[in-house]
Structure 1
Amino acid sequence: MISQLRIVDLGVIAEASLDLAPGFTAVTGETGAGKTMIVTGLGLLLGQRADRGLVRRDASGTERTARVEGRFGRLDDDILARVEELGGTLDDPDDDPELVLARSIGAAGRSRAYVGGAQMPVASLSSLSEELITIHGQSGQIRLARPDTQRDMLDRFGGPELATLLADYRATWRQWREAGTELDSLRAMARERAREVDMLRHALDEIAAVDPQAGEDTELADEARRLQAVDDLRLAAGKAALAVNGDDVDFDTSPGAVSLVGVARHALEAIADADSRAAELARRAAELVFQLGDLGGDLASYLSDLEADPGRLEEIAGRRAALSELFRKYGDTAEEVVTWAEASRSRLDELVGTDDRIDSLTVQVDQLRSRLEALAGELGAARTSAARRLEESVGRELAALAMPHARLIVDLAPVEPGPWGAETIEFLFAANPGADPGPLGKVASGGELSRVRLALEVTVGDHPDRTLVFDEVDSGVGGAVAVEIGRRLKRLAATSQVIVVTHLAQVAAFADRHFVVVKSSDGRITTSGVREVAAGDRAGELARMMAGIDTTDSALAHAEELLAVATESGPLA
């Protein structure tokens, strides 16, 4: 609920601050004083359109910047989480967190919105503030005429049992819709799936016929290069083998590196005992002998393997041609082709299994539809019962508000199951006996709508810690009816914070706190401010409202009587 409202340079209000509290707060003032700016300011916090004409001008005619700030407390966890998501900050977050919402209108008509000190789009401000404030004025009456508002009121009146049914129905409806959407999609794509299955099977058969192995293309390329260069390889390998091993036929004239290093080894070993450095050199020569021996053996083996094989070269060329055909379609290497084939097998299994999924979804959709229809029947029955009770309760309230013959009829018409049930809900209204009921928003006058809205709020209730703002709720009434309006607003204030802009003393008398919007003029510009009426001055202010400028003794006595009635007010009529 709102704990403070501050308005600067809005309409005739130069600056006003209202420290608000739980319960019933009345805002009064003479015509033209600017009391409706309180509602306008709250409307700006709700994201209503910013009118440049509302921005106050100073004595020289220069436009200022209008600003409205609302400080809210008693915030639930959902609101706190949304403020954090939006990037706003809270005052005293660890103790009793409060949220400041603000709206400004510049001289050029540009509007800015703030949530917890962070600037953001007006829509973000509106989505948050609508959870905190409800204004029952002209726009509220328009909302009352909307089917979704009427459905929500009936469901709230239905209580926890209906709420549970509605939650079960909505969960089932979402499941049914999701399953049905998937089923429709799978059925619609049946032809495309069949084409894809044929394409994948053909491709996998083509790959299986070649049976590529990862890395095979690189190995074949190496082998092909070796076979194509076999003569050059044998010549080079022969020279290397001769240099290492020597010429077996003419060893004396063509000794190999093994023999020469062996001679060096023996010469060094002969002097190893005389010099440690010579011994180290002999050891190293011995290692070279062994290494050269191994090298010579490997060269001989390599040379013996180097044989021309035209048949194998032709076989490799054919294999590489088959792989190249796969590379053209499925990957640049044998490894990529193998990977593509593995992924395609998984996709093929998925597509082939789609028929099983269609069968499963068909059964699931049928089962969910049956459950949905059963829940729709239970929900419709609960709503019908709640509708009859709501009609009776609202009828009693309207009778007490001087509309004894008025009837509110909750019409439920069956439709195909939707997200909110299997019926449309419409409030019909007839103000007089014999009149044909018509849509509430079309046949009720502004004053009738105000009283119907109040009757509904009193009957439906359940707005804990929420701020309800009423403007023009007393339009066109007076006397005993106004007293009954005040009595009902007082009842609402037991669970909600109620702020009422009124011109009737009979309504204001029931308020826990009373603010007066007072205007003054210096001859050039009119300014309004807001002051709270002290408890001891309540009777005088109420008397002024009834008698006008000159407060009479009879008006004062009547005001004190009103206060006594409000204080001693018993159950509603």
Structure 2
Amino acid sequence: MIEEISIRDLGVIRSATVPLHPGLTVITGETGAGKTMLLTGLGLLMGGKADPASVRPGSSTAVVEGRMHLPEGSAALERVLDAGGALDDDGSVVVARSVAAEGRSRAHLGGRSVPQAVLADVAADLVTVHGQSDQVRLRTPSRQRAALDEFAGPAHAAVLEEYRASWAERVQLVREIDELTARAQERAHEAELLRLGLAEVERVDPQPGEDVELQGVVARLGHAEELRGAATLAHGALVGDDSGEPQETALVAVDRARRALEQAAGTDPALGALAQRVAEVEIALGDVASDVAAYQGELDADPARLEQAHARLAELTALARAHGGDVETVLVWSRDAGLRLLELDDDGEHLRAMTQRAEALGATLDTLAARLTEARTAAAERLGAAVSAELDGLAMTGARLVVDVDPAEEAGAWGADTVTMSLVPHPGAPARALGKGASGGELSRVMLGIEVALASSESAGGSSTFIFDEVDAGVGGRAAVEVGRRLAALARHAQVVVVTHLAQVAAFADSQLVVSKASASSDDGGPTTVTGVSAVTGDDRVAELARMLSGQADSSVARQHALELLEVSVGAR
């Protein structure tokens, strides 16, 4: 429930703190005094849209703070904790909303800054608001169906949740099936191209690094004479040629240097170490000479082999160019293409599996829809009887609410039913759909009757606070008294806050708040209007009820009538 709301610089309200108690609280006051601003403040705390125009003229920011008590284990409490909000020691949470005149708004929940939508989520489980716009919504079949579903109870709600989950899954499956079917030709064409590409790769059969290796082969075979000459020259320089003539080769020179150093090493041992190093050079030159000789032996200027290498390299180059890279690129594409082809070839099986699942879900939905229809039909009879009993007490003797559950043209996300609520205003009169024939006053009482029926049913336990904005519009006299009585009955199960102009309704309240306006000086010294909120009890409350009855708080007749109303209301509170 909402324990308190504080408002600063919102509309005509400069500063006001409004305590809200359990039971029925009515908010009264002259027209234009600012009652609407109280509801606007409550709306902001519940995540409603912020209007910069509601900021009090001359102020930069309007601020609304509220304290709510959250039931243990409620979804609202869990949402607060998920958002990182902190609870006070008594289990209550502070909610705040600020609206800047330049258009920005901020929301805080339990000391943490949160998006506006989080406040709306929390309020959805705690507060139900009814006003003239809600009566308009009651005219729509979807709103009527929602009211019936709520009345049907938790077992029905569980079936409905299961139905909606199955419906959502089937919708997604059908969307995927349609997409696969629509793209079947495109995917078949893609698969054919992949097969052709893979067949070409398989035919060429490229090996990792083969193109690089062939490039080396072609380079050697294409320049065999030039390479042979270089190798011959190098070999001759190292070890000499086959002419038999003495030559100053690298090995001969190094050998001579080694011998000279070894001979002098007896005089200076340091030269022995140098001789050893020269000997190592001699060995390395011998190894190089052997490798050069081997290279000469392997070097072959075979034109046929060169042509074969050119042809293979051209084939690999063409394949690589087709895939935008080298042989490694081709091999990567081949691996990925194989996986993609498996996926495409599996589409048929996947499509069959999805179709079978969709058919199974269809059968499940048919079964669940039948259970929903059965539960709604039974609940419709009970709701009609309960609301009709309430209407009889709301000075609509003989009026009946008829709730019809008919097959819809096609099943939807909420089942296969169309719910229609109709009002029979008096015995013998034809039923008139609420969306077409009911007046505003009739709708007000029907709506109140539904809320009382919901609060009194097995499904009670949803919203803990109800806010009614002029639910008594269009009623008066005895009907107004009965509206007050029913509001008081609803308040036995929940916190009820009502904005009303009728003393007959206000008399049934457990607490009454009066909104009044007065002239004051603004910050710049000019005149301005401010609104205050005060609780009235005793003689003050009698005077306020008398004002509501006759417009004169000091009228003895009106005061006597006010006292009579208070006496009548005692039994209902």
Instruction: Measure how far apart 1:38 and its partner are.
Output: 2.2
Q: Percent identity?
A: 44
Instruction: Measure how far apart 1:344 and its partner are.
Output: 1.0
Among candidates 97, 100, 105, match of residue 102 of structure 1: 97
| Deviation digits for residues 430-465 of structure 1 (CA, Å, limit 9, x no counterpart) | 323333223313311111111111111111133545
1:191 aligns with 2:185: yes
Instruction: Measure how far apart 1:493 and its partner are.
Output: 2.9
1:500 aligns with 2:498: yes
Instruction: Measure how far apart 1:215 and its partner are.
Output: 1.3
Unaligned runs of 5+ in 1: 58-62
Among candidates 242, 249, 272, match of residue 265 of structure 2: 272
Among candidates 42, 54, 62, match of residue 67 of structure 1: 62
Superposition TM-score, scaled by structure 2 size: 0.87
Give the AA of the match of 1:470: F
1:284 aligns with 2:285: no
Closer/same/farther in 2, CA of residues 559 and 341 from structure 1, 3 Å limit: same
Name the structure 2 match of 1:224: 218
The size of the alignment, in residue pairs, is 558
Distance 2:445 2:304 in 1: 104
Among candidates 168, 183, 204, match of residue 198 of structure 2: 204
Closer/same/farther in 2, CA of residues 267 and 66 from structure 1, 3 Å limit: closer
1:293 aligns with 2:286: yes
Instruction: Measure how far apart 1:519 and its partner are.
Output: 2.5
1:112 aligns with 2:104: yes
Closer/same/farther in 2, CA of residues 208 and 433 from structure 1, 3 Å limit: same
Secondary structure of the residue aligned to 1:73 is strand
| Deviation digits for residues 241-260 of structure 1 (CA, Å, limit 9, x no counterpart) | 11222335436x31432232
Q: Which segment is superposed worse, 95-104 or 415-424?
A: 95-104
Instruction: Measure how far apart 1:553 and its partner are.
Output: 6.1
Name the structure 2 match of 1:358: 351
Name the structure 2 match of 1:33: 33
Closer/same/farther in 2, CA of residues 273 and 465 from structure 1, 3 Å limit: farther
Contact 2:513 2:536 in 1 (8 A): yes
Secondary structure of the residue aligned to 1:325 is helix
Distance 2:49 2:398 in 1: 36
Give the AA of the match of 2:36: T
Distance 1:66 1:291 in 2: 91
Q: How does 1:148-547 map to 2 (within 5 A)?
A: 148-250=142-244, 253-415=246-408, 416-461=410-455, 462=460, 464=462, 466-521=464-519, 526-534=529-537, 537-546=540-549
Superposition TM-score, scaled by structure 1 size: 0.87
Distance 1:127 1:411 in 2: 31
Distance 1:19 1:430 in 2: 40
Contact 1:73 1:99 in 2 (8 A): yes
Closer/same/farther in 2, CA of residues 128 and 142 from structure 1, 3 Å limit: farther
Distance 1:128 1:296 in 2: 89
Secondary structure of the residue aligned to 2:148 is helix
Distance 2:553 2:559 in 1: 11
Distance 1:500 1:374 in 2: 43
Distance 1:154 1:421 in 2: 13
Contact 1:112 1:120 in 2 (8 A): no
Distance 1:255 1:105 in 2: 100
Distance 2:325 2:120 in 1: 57
Distance 1:66 1:139 in 2: 28
Distance 2:243 2:338 in 1: 63
Contact 1:103 1:111 in 2 (8 A): no
Instruction: Measure how far apart 1:130 and its partner are.
Output: 5.0
Contact 2:546 2:553 in 1 (8 A): no
Give the AA of the match of 2:534: R
Distance 1:182 1:89 in 2: 38
Instruction: Measure how far apart 1:218 and its partner are.
Output: 1.0
Distance 2:329 2:319 in 1: 10
Give the AA of the match of 1:152: A
| Deviation digits for residues 328-378 of structure 1 (CA, Å, limit 9, x no counterpart) | 322310111111111111111111121122222222222221121111111
Distance 2:198 2:90 in 1: 67
Closer/same/farther in 2, CA of residues 2 and 151 from structure 1, 3 Å limit: same
Give the AA of the match of 2:469: D
Q: Which segment is superposed worse, 236-245 or 72-81?
A: 72-81
Give the AA of the match of 2:26: A
Contact 2:5 2:67 in 1 (8 A): no
Name the structure 1 match of 2:15: 15
Distance 1:141 1:448 in 2: 10
Secondary structure of the residue aligned to 1:297 is helix
Name the structure 1 match of 2:524: none
Distance 1:394 1:458 in 2: 8
Distance 1:217 1:310 in 2: 19
Contact 1:470 1:501 in 2 (8 A): yes
Distance 2:241 2:124 in 1: 103
Name the structure 2 match of 1:60: none
